[in-house]
């Protein structure tokens, strides 16, 4: 009889912790979701095509971003060049001409330097670079 009571108590305890764990699994993400700022970052065009391999691509790039609340944000390209910063804004846009030698990534960071968005422009070409044929001539 004592063994049956012990098993029932352990089963009840196990059931309680299982229900608690499941509730925590579903409720906790919703509780922490309010702390996360939702952002959207887009770059258009996302592809640039040159005629020959190795040629730079000239393009007017349109950067657009929006956030669920106002923040300080800076747009930089991956080599560290700062393109523009916004102070306490919930959206921003920028159109600038770019000379892209190859595929380039852009990052939107907040004032703490934390990445809040990333996008890239892929550079491709129509024709491969021609190899120069070395012909030996005597005359």
CATH 1.20.1250.20 fits 37-127, yes or no: no
**41/109 Cα distance (integer angstroms):** 11
Interval 83-96 mean pLDDT: 93
Higher pLDDT, 135 or 67: 67
Mean pLDDT rounded to a whole number for the chain: 79
Task: Spell out the domain ranges in the chain.
Answer: 2-33, 37-127
60 with 97: CB under 8 angstroms?
yes
123 with 48: CB under 8 angstroms?
yes
pTM for this structure?
Answer: 0.65
98 with 59: CB under 8 angstroms?
yes
pLDDT digits over 54-79, tens only?
889 999 999 999 999 999 999 998 88
Interval 84-110 mean pLDDT: 93
Q: DSSP of 33-77, one letter per residue?
A: GGGSPPEEEEEE-SEEEEEETT--EEEEEEEEEEEEEEEEEEEEE
- Does the structure show a pLDDT above 90 at 8? no
Higher pLDDT, 136 or 126: 126
Higher pLDDT, 2 or 77: 77
- pLDDT > 90 fraction of the chain, expressed in percent and rounded: 47
Neighbours of 98 (CB within 10 A): 16
- Give residue 4's region: left, alpha or beta (phi > 0; psi -120 to 50): alpha
What value does the CA radius of gyration of the chain take, rounded to a whole number of Å? 28
- Does the structure show a pLDDT above 60 at 107? yes
């Amino acid at each position: 009889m004592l063994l049956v009571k012990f098993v029932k108590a352990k089963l009840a305890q196990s059931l309680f912790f299982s229900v608690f764990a499941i509730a925590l699994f579903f409720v906790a993400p919703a509780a922490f979701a309010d702390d996360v700022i939702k952002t959207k970052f887009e770059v258009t065009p996302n592809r640039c095509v040159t005629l020959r391999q190795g040629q730079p691509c000239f393009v007017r790039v349109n950067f657009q971003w929006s956030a669920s609340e106002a923040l300080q944000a800076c747009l930089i390209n991956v080599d560290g060049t700062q393109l523009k910063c916004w102070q306490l804004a919930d959206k921003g846009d920028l159109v600038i001409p770019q000379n892209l030698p190859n595929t380039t990534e852009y990052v939107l960071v907040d004032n703490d330097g934390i990445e809040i968005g990333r996008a890239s422009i892929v550079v491709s070409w129509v024709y491969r670079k021609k190899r120069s044929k070395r012909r030996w001539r005597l005359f």
